[in-house]
Amino acid sequence: MSNKIILFSIVALTFGSFALAYEPAPIQDFCVADPNSSVKVNGVSCKNPMQVQAEDFFFSGLHLRGNTSNAVGSRVTPVFAAQLPGLNTMGISMVRIDYAPWGINPPHTHPRATEILMVLEGTLQVGFVTSNPDNRHVSKVLQKGDVFVFPVGLVHYQRNVGNGHAVVIAALSSQNPGAITIANAVFGANPPIASDVLSRAFQVDKTVVDQLQAKF
Ligand SMILES: *[C@@H]1O[C@H](CO)[C@@H](O)[C@H](O)[C@H]1NC(C)=O
Ligand SMILES: *[C@@H]1O[C@H](CO)[C@@H](O)[C@H](O)[C@H]1NC(C)=O
């Protein structure tokens, strides 16, 4: 083996294990979450497979409209491992999102998941922003039946640009994707981030920062 090939193999193995580090591949048919177990693992420990029932792989309720009477005019109904125990260790989950007319799902990121979204009803403008230094805004208007993907970790949002209700179903590549809503994390941190830090970061007056911190 030449040195080049050995080096390539080492690089491939290293990056291969990085890819697996995201959500480990299952090493059994299933590992239905046992919420009663006090054992701490990466995920939730498994229920005895002999006691597993069809109900453990089942969730009912995504036909129901989420309540969008809130400041942003949208509602996410999650189907993560916490709602559907059979998703534990499977590296996948689902949400329904409802939008009031002109409602938004504010800019946020999922630290552990890529998201693929399909419009069931309505017209949505969607977008994500690439990482530094480009911060390119990739955006598109979607109609019923359209599908769009938000790459893992990138800040993204959706806005209902129609006068009617809008609804989407999205799948995410983690049993527990996590969500960091930018405004809430930055201006609603508890305890707060010092206002002079935010004032300088956002290049605005401290009074503007105080106003924003008061809202979150
Ligand atoms: C958890 O414990 C409660 C009370 O003992 C029991 O009713 C329930 O079935 C348990 N859940 C699972 C998933 O084992
Ligand atoms: C929707 O949420 C609002 C605000 O929390 C609440 O006042 C209202 O009763 C809810 N509507 C339904 C149908 O649950």
CB 87, CB 93: distance < 8 Å: yes
- pLDDT over 70 at 9, yes or no: no
Is residue 42 annotated as involved in ligand binding? no
pLDDT above 70 covers what percent of the chain?
90
Which range among 7-11, 147-151, 159-163, 175-179 shows the weakest confidence by mean pLDDT? 7-11
Ligand 2 binding pocket includes 69 (Cβ within 6 Å): yes
Distance CA 73, CA 85 (A): 29
Q: How confident is the model at residue 13, as a pLDDT?
A: 43
**Residue 40: what pLDDT?**
84
Nearest to 174 by CA among 80, 84, 86: 80
**Residue among 64, 67, 77 whose CB has most ligand 2 atoms within 8 A, to mutate:** 67
- Domains (range + CATH), the chain: 26-178 (2.60.120.10), 179-216 (no CATH)
10 confidence band (pLDDT: 50, 70, 90): very low
Whole-number Å distance, alpha carbon 84 to ligand 1 midpoint, is 15
Ligand nearest to the CA of 48: 1
- What's the pLDDT tens digit per position in 12-57? 444 444 445 568 888 899 999 998 998 888 889 999 999 999 999 9
d(CA 103, CA 96): 15
Q: Identify the weakest region by mean pLDDT among 19-28, 107-116, 160-169, 179-188.
A: 19-28
Q: What is the mean pLDDT of residues 108-121?
A: 98
Of 98, 104, 101, 103, whose CA–CA distance to 119 is shortest? 98
86 burial class (0-12, 13-18, 19+ CB within 10 angstroms)? buried
pLDDT number for residue 214: 96
DSSP state string for 147-168: EEEE-TT-EEEEEE-SSS-EEE
For range 96-100, the mean pLDDT: 98
The whole-number average pLDDT for the span 180-202 is 97
- CB contact burial 187-199 (16+ within 10 A = b; e otherwise): beeeeebebeebb
pLDDT at 88 over 70: yes
Quick one: pLDDT at residue 19?
A: 47
Give the residue whose CA is nearest to atom 7 of ligand 1.
36
